[in-house]
Amino acid sequence: MTTETAAPGVWADLVGQPRAVATLQRAVIEGRHAMSHAWLITGPPGSGRSNAARAFAAALQCPNHGDGTCQHCRSTLSGAHPDVTLLQTERLSIGVDEVRELIQTASLRPGVGRYQIIVIEDADRLTDPAADALLKAIEEPPARTVWLLCAPTPDDVLVTIRSRCRKLSLRTPPDAAVAELLIRRDGIDPSTAAFAARAAQGHIGRARALARNEAARNRRHAVLQIPGRLRDIGSCLNAAEHLVESGKEEAARQTAELDARERAALETALGVGTTGVKPKQLAAAQKALKELEEEQKKRATRMVRDQLDFALTELTGFYRDVLSAQIAAEVPLINAEAAETITALARRTTPEKTLACIDAILQCRTDIEGAVNPLLAMEALMLTLGGPFRGR
Ligand SMILES: [Zn+2]
């Protein structure tokens, strides 16, 4: 029997990734031979990519290979190490100016640590000019510089960049590992942690939100009620409208505060409201603010899509449960709390019809991702899902 013990020290929160941890630990301990100056860390959303990058950075700086207790470890994990630069962004793209700044930092010798480390958390958002600039930097890095790039899949990064990186892929962490993390790190009680881990299907951030946030649990509950309520065309169209509206509300709630904070920061940087601003400066400031507004608008649209994507993930899990009930698969239900609806639906339809529902959900995801009007895409989906109920 193999037991999966949580690696100690800085690796403790990187749950369910024993292979990745082993690779990174070996690179830290063996140094030059197992080390690379550029890494591409990939994995599905919520698997812990940025967590892995931070832990790796901490272990590289630590004189004890990542004990988790020294100043180097603690300051790296908290984002305060002077020789570890983290680029996190809420923006949709990372531009060439930001990358040039990082390259400048990367060219410096480390001050207190063993390496100069640059982490780009969303390397899939690099613009083409930014990626070109970065490419030159990672081709010939200074001896003690390490670049850590994170992205969902290798395909999300230009081939020229990924071919120069050592690749590390994370898997979807198992439910038990996610639950254990929620209990240990966030102080969640075991039964809520088990529920949240199962419901989030391996997405750590989503599991944490479900465990800590009642509104998130309520939204999920509402989504799982949908399949049982699709009785006619009217109820299908209503369900679609309701899903899109609640997605918009939640996205608006999340963006409002972020937008205001960014605007205030930009206004301060531009000196808006201070006396003695020349007309030329004022025009430049107005242009910058307008650009920010446009980007915020695009982000708001994306966040609505993200919310709808969560709902579609829940629905996929629901129909996967229906299918396993129909084929009597010996796997635990993702949505044990909706077992009754699942069993009822499983009896009334066939595995073929359930598969068609899952296909329709995936199609809806693709459509929404491809900028089809979300309401139209949802309506089409609900009418398909409602098919087995109609004419009862
Ligand atoms: Zn340490």
Three-class secondary structure assignment of 109-143: CCCCCCCEEEEECCHHHECHHHHHHHHHHHHCCCC
Interhelix angle 279-326/374-386, rounded to 10 degrees, is 10
How is residue 228 written in tokens? 């049982």
For residue 4, report the distance from its CA to the centre of ligand 1, in Å. 23
For residue 325, report the distance from its CA to the centre of ligand 1, in Å. 49
Residue 4 is predicted with a pLDDT of 42
For residue 172, report the distance from its CA to the centre of ligand 1, in Å. 27
How is residue 327 written in tokens? 């084929």
Q: Taking CA 180 as the corner, what is the angle to CA 174 and CA 182, rounded to the nearest 5 degrees?
A: 105
For residue 61, report the distance from its CA to the centre of ligand 1, in Å. 7
| Cα dist from 339 to 319, 325, 328, 357, whole Å | 11, 9, 14, 18
For residue 110, report the distance from its CA to the centre of ligand 1, in Å. 16
For residue 368, report the distance from its CA to the centre of ligand 1, in Å. 45
Residue 388 is predicted with a pLDDT of 56
Q: What is the pTM of this model?
A: 0.81
Residue 355 is predicted with a pLDDT of 95
- Taking Cα atoms as reference points, which of 354, 96, 345 lies closest to residue 231? 345
Q: Which residues in the chain show pLDDT less than 70? A: 1-7, 32-34, 388-392
For residue 55, report the distance from its CA to the centre of ligand 1, in Å. 10
Long-range contacts, stretch 261-267, CB < 8 angstroms, 24+ apart: 262/90, 262/292, 262/296, 263/289, 263/292, 266/292
- Taking Cα atoms as reference points, which of 160, 142, 162 lies closest to residue 152? 162
Q: Which residues pair with 149 in a beta bridge?
A: 40, 120
Residue 375 is predicted with a pLDDT of 95
- Taking Cα atoms as reference points, which of 306, 301, 299 lies closest to residue 216? 306
How is residue 74 written in tokens? 């603690």
For residue 73, report the distance from its CA to the centre of ligand 1, in Å. 4
For residue 54, report the distance from its CA to the centre of ligand 1, in Å. 12
Residues, CB-to-ion distance under 5 Å, ligand 1: 62, 67, 70, 72-73
Taken in order 99, 101, 107, 113, is the CA torsion positive or negative? negative
Residue 389 is predicted with a pLDDT of 58
CA–CA distance, 206 with 16 (Å, rounded to integer): 16
- Taking Cα atoms as reference points, which of 346, 340, 344, 384 lies closest to residue 362? 384
CA–CA distance, 237 with 219 (Å, rounded to integer): 18
Contact (Cβ atoms closer than 8 angstroms) between residue 31 and residue 60: no
Q: Name the one residue in this structure whose structure tokens are 């690749």.
A: 167
Q: Which residues contact 308 (CB under 8 A, 6 or more apart)?
A: 243, 244, 247, 368, 374, 378
